[in-house]
Each structure stands twice: as C-alpha cells, then as structure tokens.
Amino acid sequence: MINMVIDGRQVQAQTGWTVLETARQNGIHIPTLCHHEAVEPSGACRLCVVEIGDETWSKIVISCMYPVAEGLNVKTDSPRVKNVRRWILEMLLAQCPASPEIRALAAEYGVQTTRFVNHDPNEQCILCGLCVRVCKEVVGVSAISTIGRGVHKKIGSPYGVVSDACVACGSCVTVCPTGAMSARLDAIRGVHAGREAGKGGK
Amino acid sequence: MAQITNREIQQAGRLDSAEAFMALRERILAASDPNRTEIIVCHGTGCLANGSVKVAEALQAAVKAADLDIKVTGCHGFCSRGPLVVVRPSGLFYQRVKPADAEDILQSVLEGGQPVERLLYHDPNTDQALPQEKDIPFYSHQMRIVLRNIGKIDPTDIGDTIAHGGYLALAKALYQMSPEQVVAEVERSGLRGRGGAGFPTGRKWKSALAAIKKKGYPAYVVVNGDEGDPGAFMDRTIMEGDPHAVLEGLILGAYALGAHQGFMYVRAEYPVAIKHLNIAMEQARALGLLGQNILGSGFDFDVQINRGAGAFVCGESTALFTSIEGRAGEPKPKYVRSVEEGLWGRPTVLNNVETWANVPQIIEKGGEWYAGLGVPHSTGTKVFSLVGKVNNVGLVEVPMGTPLASIVEDLGGGVPGGAPFKAVQTGGPSGGCLPYDMREVPVDFDSLTRAGSMMGSGGMIVMDKRDCVVDVARYFLRFLEEESCGKCIPCRLGLTRMREILDGFSQGIGSEKDIDDLVSLAAAIQDGALCALGGSAPNPVLTTLQYFKDEYLAHIKDKRCPAGVCKDLISYSIDPDKCTGCMTCARQCPQKAIAGEKKKPHVINQELCIRCGICMESCKFGAVNVA
C-alpha cells in the first residue's frame, strides 16, 4: 500500500495505480474527457491535470497517467489547475458549441461564454481520440484514425479512404464523450448511396 | 587531402586491433605532405547557394598543370561572405569568389604570387585588408572544438578524418578504458545536452546504465538530427562537414552503454547530411570501426539512419521514438524517462548531434580538459547560428558564458549601419527575446534561463529597430501552430487562439485586458501542454511582453507600430526636402501609387498603397519615411 495525500486527505493507493484511479477510488472528483477504463490513457485532453509538490516546488501533471508514489502530495483544484481547465473549456466551448456535455462541464467551472470565435456551430468533436483507441485496442480493426496534423487534424478513416474495415460494432459511438462520433460513422463507412454506386462517400 | 586514396584505405580491410589502426594512421600521415598547398572551397549551404560548385570546378580546371590540391569541405561558417576559398597551410582567405577568379587565385598561391586584393576581407570599420583567416574577427574570437575539422577535412574521406584525429578516441576507449570509465569521463566533463534542455549528459548515461542493469536489456543509442528551428543550422553543418565525429561519438556512447544498435534520426530536408553520414558509415564499416568486433575488441555495434518526414515535433524525444517505431510522430507523456523506457520500451539514450560530436574529444583529451572550458555549470563551447540583422551572418563556436554582446558585436560585427541591436531571440521559436539592455548576459544554460529565455539548440536571431516585437512573436507562434501535432488541446487550440489575439494587436485591436488574457492563457498552455513544443511555445510572447510592453501598448492604445512593420498601422510618406524626383520609387511601386514628375518631389497615394515598403528600399536618398 502506498500512502499519499489528495487535497489534504490521507489516502491509500496500490502500486501501479495512477493518481486518477486513486482519486476516484476515494470519491474525489477529477474531470476527464479522453479517459476510458477500456483503453490505454493517452493524455490528450489535459482536463485531468493536478498539481503535485509543495509550497517550495510544484508542477502540473495529468492524473490519468501520473503514477502514484509514497508521500505524493496532490491538489486537484488549485488555482493553477483551475486556470488550465478553464482555458481548455473556454476554447472547447468555441470549438464545439453543439456539445451539451462540453457546455455543462464548462458551466461547472464557471465558463458560460467564450471570447473566441466559432467556425462551425454544428461541431461536437474535441479530437480526444477515444474512438480511434477503442477501435484499435478493443475492437482490433483500426478502421478509424486521426488524419492530418495540428489545427488540420480530424477524425476519419485512415488516409481519408472509405474503410470497409469497420464492423459497425458501435464501440466508438459508445465511448465518444460528446456524441460527435454518431455523425461521423457514415463518413467512415461511406454512405449507403455511395457504397451502392461503388464510389465511396467521403 | 590524404595522399593515400580512399580506395587504398578501404583495401586495408577491417582493422583488428588498436595497433593496426595506429599503423594505418601513421601510413596516412607519412604519405601526406603538411606543406603541400591545398585550395579549399567551402561547400556549406550558403556557399553552395552562391555558386561554390562552379567555383570549385573553375579552380579544378585552372589547376591542371600546377602541383596542388583542390579540396571541397563542409561549412566554414562565414556564410554572408560566401563563396569562401581558403588556401592552406598559408591561411590566405578569399571571400565572395566567382568562377572567373580561379586563374587569379591560382597565380596568387604559386611561388612568388601576391594575394588577390579584390577578394580579401576588409575590416568594415578601418577598411584594412585582412588576408589571413586567423586575423578576421569573425574567426579570431571563436574557439572551435566541435567544428575543429570542419573546413579542413573532406567529409567524404575517412583517411582525411583519421589524419585529423578521427577515431583516436575510439581506439583509446576500446583498449584502455572500461565502459564505466567512459561514462565517468563524460560526467567529469560537465557536458550538457546541446539540443535545448541542457540535461547533464554523463548523468543521463549513468541513469541509463542503472536501468539496463535493472531490466537486463541492452540500450539503444540515438542521434537527434531533427534540427528544425527557423534559422538554425548547427547540426546540419556538423553532420555535413564532419560526419565521422558524430558517428565516433555514437560508437563511444554505445560502447559505454553496451548498446549494439543505434539510430540516427535526420530530417529529410538535410539530404547532404544523410548522404555524408551514409558514406561515413560505409567507410567506417569497411575499416572495422563499425559493425561486428570493432577494431578486434569483441564489441559489436551498428547504426542505421531514419529520415524524418517533415514534422518539427519529431525533434521531441518521445515523438522521435514513435516515428522511428513506424507510427505517426506524436509525443507521449514522459513520466517514465526514456533512459528507462524509450525506443520500443527499452532503455534509450538520445542525444543531440552536437552533444555526440563533443564526446570523442572528451574521451581523447579528458573530461578535466573539457570542464576547464566555458563556465562552471555550462562547460565547453557552443555552436550558434547567428542570423538576422547582423553583418556577419553565419555559424560560430564560442566558449559557454561568452557575453551576448560579444557574440553579436565582436563576432557578428553588429547591426548593418552601426546602430545598436534591439533584441536577440535565443533558443529558436521556444526561446525568448532578450533586449539590448541585457547584452552583457553570459550565454550559458542557467544565465539565459534566468533572463527568461533559453539556450535551445543555438539559434540566435538579431533584431534591430525595424523589427516589431509583436510581429516577431506572431511569426514564432504561427510557426509552432503549424507544427503542433494536435494531440493535446492546450497546444492545438491554444496556440491558434494566442495568435488570433496577437493578430488583433497587429491591427490595433485589443485592450490591456487582452494582454492579461494572453498571459493567463500562456500560463495554461505552459502548464497544460503535453510536450515541450506546446509548453515552451508561449515564451517569445511572454519575453517580448516582459521587455517590450510599451511596444504592445503602442499598438493597441495609440494604434501605432513603432517599428513600422504592422501593415494596418503604418503609412509611407515622401519627404519633399529629400526627394530628388528620380522616379525610381514610382517605377518600382507595384501599385502605381506614387505620383510625381521628374526632378519634382513625389507623393504616395495612400488609397492605393499596400505598404509593401519597396519605395523605401529603392530610395537612394532616404526620402521615404514610415510611421
């Protein structure tokens, strides 16, 4: 057993656990978007950040991947942590205004409006990559992937080619934290009309 | 050039002992005459772009009858004066050489010849001719350790490398030192990683040794040659000009760590570096300096080159590993260090090109010697690429701790026109912008970090009063926004949003609250981003805000760009007292926005003007103003 402190509370963790697992085991809430028990953590959404250390030295780490250690002192709601979460949520609010989940989470952190312009009022996808990971790690077919880099990144079928690797299992739709995946599935499999005409339906 | 040809050396076959290596070296040295004249033509990028291939061909054609050699080498560093030709052993230095100068150069090096006056370097201040390379301030202020052989050796000739001390350290280490002693020597040298973060190399190797022991696997050793900072070409020059130094450093590291496989990750944009490294590897294998049973010591090690695919982020260690493993180059959180779990989950030592290239001399001359160079916590020398508004654009190597002003002014010759520099961006796009007031800051890892900037890989961009800090910060942000891998939200979305706020400033739109927001968002990105690309991306914005806040305020409060750069905030005008009515600007204006008759002052039509600044550049009388 490993003894550590989260938000001033003495808690115990098992060797190999992450800070997030330990917090949840002890009923301490840390928000996440790209985390799912079924797949390996990837550290993409950064919402689960926590501050470790003390008054003299501290740093921000992501709780979903940071391993527990004896004597670790974790703050899940410090000003630095809140600053990261608020800005992420304010940016997500502008990025995918159509997602009720994002709006609710933002409201939880007092973010009701965003200073940033929105380019697509129907967007829901936050590019957390959960759909890609579940398709690879759980289903084992890798029918979806992230395409492109940086601001041009999107979710689609590998190389943007309509994929018949998809077995329509719906795992990606299930794990998607914002409901964005249901609208994308046809684009990956090709819409019916497109498939029948043999053209694909990008 | 060694007078024993490459082919003869290769025929020597694989050397099976240190003695056999030393004997080969003796043969090469005995066969070459140190007093034989060599005409050396720089084939660095700058000189190549200015036509040095034609210069070398012309010299080759002219030399036919004469008994001397023409040698082509890597970059000499003094790029703004290229194509460069140096005569050895005399040290006669010619600059801005054209193919037509070949005959004159040849005559000048023959018995009784006089230096070609028009090709000599003249001191810009005194106009005195300085015929010798060693007397030119750009070179005399340098201390060349990593670059010691670049500009002297033919990088494609292993014999030439061996004649200049190549592989001496390897022969010594394999037969006189244990792997632990090699690690200890590197630790004693105080060498810190030259790729940016400055982590002590010896300590990294030591932790790797511990991890290897714990896990029972051998390690991988990897060269990070994915140099991507705008305006940086240190590693490129080393790989192109002295590839054996990198290779020898890597073999020494492999020996120290018991690694049998190494990788060189080189960006695809460096084809010459890749070519020269491949040639070096082939030659080293043929001589038994690489491959199985190196120099008969029983130690096996080989290396392969992995080309990058154009992503800046792959210079980041975890992204680089992912890329070598054959997946999309995206970084991973590194709560377990790569010395424990790196490439394919194995203990891995990744060092930058310049770091590896330092190792052979540390082993040859001792860690003590190296630790005596530079300053206590930043030992040795550092190579910098000096670019921007500076007279002597090029590549320099100076001891750590050299004051910033000395690099810019003594070596760099200061800003063209003689005005003081405004700021220097050190550390590339992740670094910071240091103002003229900080010119005495010693250039070493810790002093630069304290000043809010960083060493980075060694890019140094000099700016003068015509550079706008808002525009500079925007430029670097845009670069990193384009290069962000997009995996984590703070970097993918945050850099774009920061840039949008700066776009507003450059148009005079914004408030002091926007500046506060910018700083707060920057902190969220620094804390929240997954890797160092995002984590350090706000640095140029934060340092320019720290040192040049007035300039930001001028943009948003007075709607004015003091440097005359931001197009929405400036206008060009013609001073009627200075204008001679020469019509030059009117002819050059792409918008036909300048009206006026010959010999009468011209006027710019502000409606038509697109503020390109061509009129200002073309005016010989300084009559065009920008405000």
Q: Could you tell me where in chain B the CATH 3.40.50.11540 domains are found?
A: 158-372
Q: Which fold has domain B158-372?
A: Rossmann fold (3.40.50)
B477 close to B512: Cβ distance less than 8 angstroms: no
Contact A49 B528 (CB under 8 A): yes
Contact B521 A65 (CB under 8 A): no
> Which chain B residue is nearest to residue A18, measuring alpha carbons?
B335
Token pair, residue B186, equals: 């590197």
The residue type of A22 is T
SS3 B311: coil
CATH number for the domain that contains residue A66: 3.10.20.740
Residue from the list B487, B520, B525 with its beta carbon closest to the beta carbon of A44: B487
Q: Which of A77, A92, A113 lies at the terminal end of a domain, its last residue?
A: A77
Contact B335 A152 (CB under 8 A): no
Residue from the list B333, B486, B525 with its beta carbon closest to the beta carbon of A151: B486
Contact B528 A87 (CB under 8 A): yes
Strands of B361-473, DSSP E: 374-375, 378-379, 381-388, 394-399, 402-403, 423-426, 432-435, 442-443, 459-463
Contact A84 B527 (CB under 8 A): yes
Residue A201 lies in a domain: no
Question: Residue B456: what pLDDT?
Answer: 86
| d(CA B515, nearest CA chain A) in Å | 13
Backbone φ, ψ for residue A62 (5° rounding): -95, 130
Q: Per the structure, how many domains does chain A have?
A: 3
CATH class of B571-626: alpha beta
* A32 lies in the same domain as A54: yes
Residue A202 lies in a domain: no
Q: Could you tell me where in chain B the CATH 3.10.20.600 domains are found?
A: 375-463
- Could you tell me where the DSSP H helices lie in B306-436? 317-324, 353-365, 367-371, 404-405
Q: What is the DSSP string of B91-117?
A: TEEE-S--GGGHHHHHHHHSTT----G
Interface probe for B, chosen from A74, A82, A87 (most Cβ of B below 10 Å), is: A87
What range defines the domain where residue A144 resides? 130-196
Distance CA B384, CA B402 (A): 12
Say which residue, A187 or A89, is predicted with more confidence: A89
> Which chain B residue is nearest to residue A150, measuring alpha carbons?
B486
Q: What tens digit of pLDDT does each residue of A115-172 get? A: 999 989 999 999 999 999 999 999 999 999 999 999 899 998 888 888 788 888 999 9
Helix, strand, coil percentages (3-state) for chain A, rounded to 5, are 35, 15, 50
> In 3D, which of B460, B457, B534 has the Cα closest to residue B492?
B534
| Paired strand residues for B379 | B374
Question: Residue B417: what pLDDT?
Answer: 87
* Residue A201 clears pLDDT 60, i.e. is over it: no
Residue A22 lies in a domain: yes
* A175 lies in the same domain as A134: yes
B235 close to B195: Cβ distance less than 8 angstroms: no
> Which chain B residue is nearest to residue A130, measuring alpha carbons?
B487
Residue from the list A80, A84, A153 with its beta carbon closest to the beta carbon of B486: A153
Please, what's the b/e burial string for B158-190 (b: 16 or more CB within 10 A of its CB; e: otherwise)? bbbbbbbbbbbbbbbbbeebebeebbbbbbbbb
B260 close to B217: Cβ distance less than 8 angstroms: no
Q: Could you tell me where in chain B the CATH 3.30.70.20 domains are found?
A: 571-626
Question: Residue B123: what pLDDT?
Answer: 87
The pairing of beta strand B38-42 with beta strand B572-574 = unpaired
Cis peptide before B416 (omega within 30 of 0): no
Q: Which residues of chain A does B494 touch, with a Cβ-Cβ cutoff of 8 Å? A: 87, 91
- The CATH superfamily assigned to B37-135 is Glutaredoxin (3.40.30.10)
Question: Residue A191: what pLDDT?
Answer: 61
Contact B489 A88 (CB under 8 A): yes
Q: Using CA atoms in the order A133, A138, A139, A140, what is the torsion angle rounded to 10 degrees?
A: 80
* A138 lies in the same domain as A184: yes
CB atoms near residue B526 (< 10 Å): 20
CATH code for the structural domain at B375-463 = 3.10.20.600
| Paired strand residues for A155 | A146
Question: Residue A188: what pLDDT?
Answer: 73
* A169 lies in the same domain as A106: no
From the first residue on, what is the mean pLDDT of each consecutive set of 10 residues in chain B (627 residues)? 67 89 93 89 94 95 83 94 93 95 91 89 89 94 95 94 96 96 97 92 96 91 94 94 97 97 96 96 95 96 95 94 94 91 95 97 97 95 95 95 95 92 92 93 94 89 95 95 95 96 96 96 97 94 95 96 94 93 92 90 93 92 92
Contact B520 A87 (CB under 8 A): yes
Length of chain B: 627
Q: Which residues of chain B does A95 touch, with a Cβ-Cβ cutoff of 8 Å? A: 493
Question: Residue B157: what pLDDT?
Answer: 94
Q: Could you tell me where in chain B the CATH 3.40.30.10 domains are found?
A: 37-135
Residue A101 lies in a domain: yes
The pairing of beta strand B69-73 with beta strand B38-42 = parallel
* A184 lies in the same domain as A171: yes
CATH architecture of B469-556: Up-down Bundle (1.20)
Complex prediction ipTM? 0.93
Name the B residues in 447-506 with CB < 8 Å from any A CB: 481-490, 492-494, 496-497, 500
Backbone φ, ψ for residue B491 (5° rounding): -75, -50
SS3 B429: helix
SS3 B270: coil
